[in-house]
Amino acid sequence: MAFFLTTPFLGFMYYFIPKAANRPIYSYRLSIVHFWALIFIYIWAGPHHLLYTALPGWAQSLGVVFSVMLIAPSWGGMINGLFTLRGAWDRVRKDPVLKFMVVGVTAYGMATFEGPMMSFKSVNAVIHYTDYVIAHVHTAALLWNGGLTFAMLYFIVPRIFNTKIYSLKMANFHFWAVTLGTVIYVIPIYWGGVTQSLMWKEFTDSGTLMYPNFMETVTHLIPMYAARAIGGTLYFVGVIAGMYNLFSTMKQGSLTSDEKAEANKAEFQSDTSKGSSFHRWLEAKPTQFTVLTVVAILIGGFVEYIPTALVKSNVPTIESVRPYTPLELVGRDIYIAEGCVGCHSQMIRPFRSETERYGEYSKAGEFVYDRPFLWGSKRTGPDLHRVGGKYPDSWHYMHFMDSRSTSPGSIMPSYPWFATRKIDLDVVPAKIRALQRLGVPYRDGFDEAAIDDLRQQAEGIADGLANSGFDVDWDSHMVAVIAYLQRLGTDIKAQPQAEAASDDTETSTASR
Ligand code: HEC
């Protein structure tokens, strides 16, 4: 987010606000401090997405500290943008460009205040994995990134086409539709996020979960999703009006396809007051500037990444954790391709409300063979890290064919094609070799045996399903996904898996 939706848009802000307001930037020095502080600090803040997970505690703490520090440059930047409008506020009333900018920069300020608050561990414990985060991101994306984009288009299109905005009225409608649309969009999901979290965490007086069935929390949110859709539609209608307005502007004008232009040298030379001259020099040197920027960004990355990768004690390995079987690997790839990770996390945090609901909390050592990680960031559905063994294979079969057959009212899509779509067996040996190269300890030559191993395990599952009355080919997606799900989170359990599965596990283990 930081380097896609924040820094580039700040660049736009610093260029277009002075242009549109016809005022010099409030403080050039502040803009430089803003830039360097932001790019230096932002990378360090990454772990605020992983609080209370299996990430080492020291990295989590660094993430919190740097997230809180981010308030300073962010708010400095917001104030710099808004103060640039001093003396031009009367025009904000009339000019759609300035309106969009003011709302955009204000949204930037709100989101960059809210972000650090969300990275306090006690707050994060409540809002992480909920829709609250979605509301936070959309405030920024729809108003800050959206608002600034519309402002730039309204500024630049009439200039390129040598004309005026086609309809000021329509631009104002666009502005209000976008602003109110966002408000109507985010309030229900903020509300929903908090509701969801409190329901997940609620205990009865006798110490059991108040809402043990995850579906209860899902159905409770559906009206809020509907309200969110109304806001989203209003925003979208605004955007359509805006696009129509811009196209009409292009049509009524005539394109200035080329313009003789040259940077104003005097501007660079005139400002040689002490302190700013070095930076003025640097700004004119793209290579040096890029190198210094990259160095500033990388420092935090190195400090947080290298010890986690190199210091063994950061990842306590667990004896009983074994690599996935070829069939499970295929199932895992289908899980990725189908986007299950968008709705399901695989990371149980060490809270009583989560261990009661999902089981033992997740340990770093359980993920050593997970490439890439599927920890997830939102729980539209329940966490799946310990779903292995929770249901029989036949339950999963029915759930994928029609999610509402097992879970009335479910909003999980059904995946009936799992029953008919076939696994591509040819790529399996290459998958094994790729993982071997990444250090996963399959025995030498296991790639050759992988297809046989896969078939053996798959036939076991298909036979089991046939016994329950569900006929499905052993090489279907269904069998692979079920194999993967039944494996999840089971390695550290003291009890071995169900008898039927243990045969396969043994042969697979022997062949590894
Ligand atoms: C739109 C969000 C969404 C997507 C995408 C999604 N799920 Fe779900 N999932 C849910 C919801 C909501 C539930 C809870 C209700 C239910 O059981 O259907 C759920 C439940 C589950 C359960 C039962 C978990 C339990 O402990 O009861 C499993 C297993 C599951 N999903 C697997 C998957 C797999 C595999 C995929 C991808 C093929 C997937 N889900 C995609 C939302 C989703």
Q: What is the pLDDT along the chain (512 residues), one digit of tens a residue?
A: 677 888 899 999 999 999 999 999 999 999 999 999 999 999 999 999 999 999 989 999 999 999 999 999 999 999 999 999 988 899 999 999 999 999 999 999 999 999 999 999 999 999 999 999 999 999 999 999 999 999 999 999 999 999 999 999 999 999 999 999 999 999 999 999 999 999 999 999 999 999 999 999 999 999 999 999 999 999 999 999 999 999 999 999 888 888 777 766 655 554 555 556 888 888 889 999 999 999 999 998 888 888 877 877 777 788 889 999 999 999 999 999 999 999 999 999 999 999 999 999 999 899 999 989 999 999 999 999 999 999 999 999 999 999 999 999 999 999 999 999 999 999 999 999 999 999 899 999 999 999 999 999 999 999 999 999 999 999 999 999 999 999 999 998 744 444 444 444 444 443 33
Structural tokens at position 498: 């169900």
Give nearest CA residue, ligand 1 atom 12: 381
pLDDT of residue 273: 53
Name the residue type at position 505.
T
Substitution candidate for ligand 1 out of 130, 333, 344, 414 with most atoms within 8 A of CB: 344
CA dist 209 to 137, 163, 213, 505, 506, Å?
Answer: 30, 64, 9, 34, 37
- For ligand 1, the distance from its centroid to the CA atom of residue 482, given in whole angstroms, is 12
- For ligand 1, the distance from its centroid to the CA atom of residue 261, given in whole angstroms, is 57
- For ligand 1, the distance from its centroid to the CA atom of residue 181, given in whole angstroms, is 30
- For ligand 1, the distance from its centroid to the CA atom of residue 432, given in whole angstroms, is 28
Structural tokens at position 44: 């360090």
pLDDT of residue 257: 81
Is residue 403 in contact with ligand 1, taking CB distance under 6 Å? Answer: yes
Query: What is the distance between the alpha carbons of residues 279 and 94, in angstroms, rounded to a whole number?
Result: 36
Give nearest CA residue, ligand 1 atom 1: 412
pLDDT of residue 280: 87
Residues written for the chain: 512
Is residue 412 in contact with ligand 1, taking CB distance under 6 Å? Answer: yes
CA dist 42 to 298, 304, 446, Å?
Answer: 10, 12, 43
Is residue 335 in contact with ligand 1, taking CB distance under 6 Å? Answer: yes
Q: Count CB atoms within 10 A of the CB of residue 254.
A: 11
pLDDT of residue 492: 87
CA dist 58 to 22, 69, 220, 317, 334, Å?
Answer: 47, 17, 37, 18, 34
Query: What is the distance between the alpha carbons of residues 300 and 34, in angstroms, rounded to a whole number?
Result: 17
